[in-house]
Structure 1
Amino acid sequence: MQQTPSVLTDQLAVEIARLGIVGESSDIGTLHRVTELACQAVPGCAGATSIRWAIPSGDAGERPEPLASAASHPDLAEVADRQLARRRGPVFDVVEHRRAVSSDDILVETRWPEAVNDMLSRGVRCFSTTPHVRAPVLVTLTLYGVGARALARSQHAIASLLVAQGSAAMSNSLQYDSVHRTAVQLQEAVEARAIVDQAKGILMHALGCDADDAFAEMRRISQTRHVKLTALAQRIVGDQGLPEITERPDRTTD
C-alpha cells in the first residue's frame, strides 16, 4: 500500500453523491466504489475495506452477519477476511455497539492483538472503522494508514459521509426491489382476474348460465383436473376446448 495525498474535489463530491442513487451499481460494486472513494477523498488513507451486514429481524440478541465485502488492496481484503473468520476484532466491536472505533498507533494497541498483528504484518500503522445503519442495511467502512496518526480525526466526517451514502444506496435498492415485486404481483393479479372474467363470459354464453354458475363450473374443472384456475381460463379464452362442459350447470346438484 502506498499513501497518496487526497483532497475532496468537486468531482469527488459528485462521485460521492452518486453513491446514493438507486440502480447505479450492485451491492458489491457499491462497496468497491466506497473503498475507492475513501482512498481518494480522505487524507492519509492508504487503503480501505467495507462490509455489508445483514441485521437480524428476529431475536435482538443475534449478531448481524456479513453478506458482502470489498477492499482496495488484496492485503487489506485478507485483514478483513481473517477478522470475519475469527468473528472477533475491531469491526465486530463496531457492529455490536454501532459506534466508530479507531487506533492512532496500533504499535501500542492492546484491544485486538490478533487483528493488530494482521495489520502490522501488512504495513498498517493506524485505522478507523465507521458504521452506518439504514435498516435493514448496516455497512462498515475501515480506513487504514501507513503511519502513526496518519488519519486525522477531522477527516472522519468524510468517512461517515461515504458509508452513509453507500448504505443508503443499498437500502434504497432493497426497497425499490420490494416495491417492484409488489407491483409485478399486483399486475399479474389484475391480468389473472381479467382472463378469468373473460372465461366466465364465454361460459355464460355457451352454457346459458349466470356468472356465479360459470365460475363454479370453472372451479369444479380446475379441482378435478388439477389445473390452476388461471391456466384453465387461458385455455377457454384461447379457444382450446372446454373440458367436461357439456350442459348447463345445475345449482341444486352442488
Structure 2
Amino acid sequence: MQHTPSVLTDQLAVEIARLGIVGESSDIGTLHRTTELAAQAVPGCAGATCIRWSVPAADGDEPPEPLASAASHPDLAQLVDRQLARRHGPVFDVVRLRRAVSSDDILAEPRWPEAMNDMLGRGVRCFSTTPHVRAPVLVTLTLYGVAAGALARSQHAIASLLVAQGSAAMSNTLQYDSVHRTAVQLQEAVEARAVVDQAKGILMHELGCDADDAFAEMRRISQTRHVKLTALAQRIVGDQGLHETPEKPDQTID
C-alpha cells in the first residue's frame, strides 16, 4: 500500500455528501465508496476497511454480527477476514464499546497481538477505527497508515463524517424500502377493495339483493370453491361466466 497526499477538495466534499443519498448505491457499494473516499480525503491514510454490523434489540443478549464488509486494498480485506474469523480484535472492541480505538504505532501496541501481527505483515504501522450507529445500521470504518503516527488525531473528524454518511445512506435505504413496501401493500388493498365492490354491484343487479347479501354470497362461493375472494371478484367483474353449479359443489375455479 502506498499513500498519496490528499486534501478535502470541493469535489471530495460533494462525493462525501452523496454517500447519504438514498438509492445512490447498494450497501456493498456504499461500503466500498466509503473506503475509497477515506483513502482520498484523510491525510496519512493509505487504505481503509468498512464493515456493516447487525444491531441487536435493546433487550437482546446477542452481540452484533458482521453483515458485509469492503476494503480499498486486497491486503486489507484479508486483515478484516482474519479478524472476523477470530471474532477478536480492535474492531470487536469498537463494536462492543461503541467508541473509537486507535494505535499510533502498532510496534508498541500490547493489545490484540494477533491482529497487530497481521497488520505488520502487510506494511501497516498505525490504525484508527471509528463506529457510527444509526438504527438499524452500525458501521465501523478503519483507517490504516504505513508510518507510525501517520494518522493525525485532528483528521479523525473526517473519518467520523465518512462513516456517519455511509451509515445514514444504508439506514435511509432500509427505511425507504420499508415505506415503499407499505405503500405497495396499501395500494394493492385499495385495488382489491375496489374490485370487490364492483363485483358486489354486479351480483346486486343480477340477484336483486342488497350489498350485504351480495357479499355473503361471494364469501359462500369463495369458501365452497376454494378461491380467494379477490380472485372471485375479478372473475365476476371480468364477466368470465361464473355461475353456481349445485350439482358440483366441489368445483374449483381455474
Name the TM-score, length of structure 2 as normaliser.
0.95
Q: CA deviation at 1:90?
A: 0.3
Letter in 2 for 1:83: Q
Aligned positions of 1:42-121 closer than 5 A: 42-57=42-57, 59-121=59-121
| CA deviations over 1:213-246 (Å, ceiling 9, x no partner) | 1101111111111111000000000011223178
> Runs ≥4 in structure 1, deviation > 6 angstroms?
none
Q: CA deviation at 1:4?
A: 1.1
Looking at structure 2, the residues matched to 245 and 169 of structure 1 have their Cα atoms a distance apart, in angstroms, of: 57
State whether residues 221 and 243 of structure 1, in contact with CA within 8 Å, keep that contact through their aligned partners in structure 2.
no
Residue identity (%) = 88
Looking at structure 2, the residues matched to 83 and 229 of structure 1 have their Cα atoms a distance apart, in angstroms, of: 54
Looking at structure 1, the residues matched to 6 and 26 of structure 2 have their Cα atoms a distance apart, in angstroms, of: 26
Q: CA deviation at 1:59?
A: 4.0
Q: CA deviation at 1:205?
A: 0.5
Looking at structure 2, the residues matched to 78 and 61 of structure 1 have their Cα atoms a distance apart, in angstroms, of: 29
Q: CA deviation at 1:89?
A: 0.5
**1:179 matches 2:179:** yes
Letter in 2 for 1:89: G
1:214 corresponding residue in structure 2: 214
1:251 corresponding residue in structure 2: none
Q: CA deviation at 1:62?
A: 1.4
Looking at structure 2, the residues matched to 243 and 63 of structure 1 have their Cα atoms a distance apart, in angstroms, of: 59
Q: CA deviation at 1:211?
A: 0.4
2:123 corresponding residue in structure 1: 123
The alignment of Structure 1 onto Structure 2 pairs a total of residues equal to 246
Looking at structure 2, the residues matched to 93 and 142 of structure 1 have their Cα atoms a distance apart, in angstroms, of: 13
| Cα-Cα RMSD | 1.0
Looking at structure 1, the residues matched to 207 and 65 of structure 2 have their Cα atoms a distance apart, in angstroms, of: 60
Looking at structure 2, the residues matched to 120 and 5 of structure 1 have their Cα atoms a distance apart, in angstroms, of: 22
Q: CA deviation at 1:58?
A: 6.1
| CA deviations over 1:165-218 (Å, ceiling 9, x no partner) | 000000000110000000000000000000000000000001111100110111
Q: Secondary structure at the match of 1:222?
A: helix
Q: CA deviation at 1:126?
A: 0.4
Letter in 1 for 2:44: G
Name the TM-score, length of structure 1 as normaliser.
0.95
2:4 corresponding residue in structure 1: 4
